[in-house]
Structure 1
Amino acid sequence: MVLVLEKGASKSDIEAIEKAIYKQKKTAGFNAKKYNGAIKLTEDPLTIQIKLRDEWERDIS
């Protein structure tokens, strides 16, 4: 959106532009707490991470 504020604009023009700018809805962002505890793990998360990283370190000979 582009709003033009011309030189010599009245106070009511400036207020109208401010209302147009702040009327837009702000984005809330990502709510990570929503997914907290969603996956039930059977083993330690660090062990899982080590296993996944080891898959990339294969000996290609």
Structure 2
Amino acid sequence: MIITIDKSMKRQEIEKLLQHMKPRKLFLANRFVGKVKWNEDALAYQKRLRNEWD
């Protein structure tokens, strides 16, 4: 949501607009921890990918 604030707006008007904003939904990464099964060591995978740039 975008709020446009003019120089002529008073502080109370701005605070009222901010109070009516909807909070963003949080992404809970903890739900996905351990769900992906890798077939190789993470460090070996990282080194292999970095060597592709050489």
The TM-score by the shorter chain falls in which range? 0.5 to 0.7
More relative contact order, 1 or 2 (CA 8 Å, 6+ apart):
2
- Consecutive unaligned residues of structure 2, counting only runs of 5 or more, are none
RMSD: 2.4
Report sequence identity in percent: 31
Residue 37 of structure 2 aligns with which residue?
Answer: 40
Counterpart AA for 1:45 = A
Q: How many Å separate the matches in 1 of 2:40 and 2:46?
A: 11
Moved over 4 A (4+): none
Report how far residue 35 of structure 1 moved.
2.5
TM-score by length of 2: 0.58
Residue 10 of structure 2 aligns with which residue?
Answer: 5
- Larger-Rg structure: 1
- Consecutive unaligned residues of structure 1, counting only runs of 5 or more, are 7-13
How many aligned positions are there?
48
Q: How many Å separate the matches in 2 of 1:35 and 1:56?
A: 29
TM-score by length of 1: 0.53
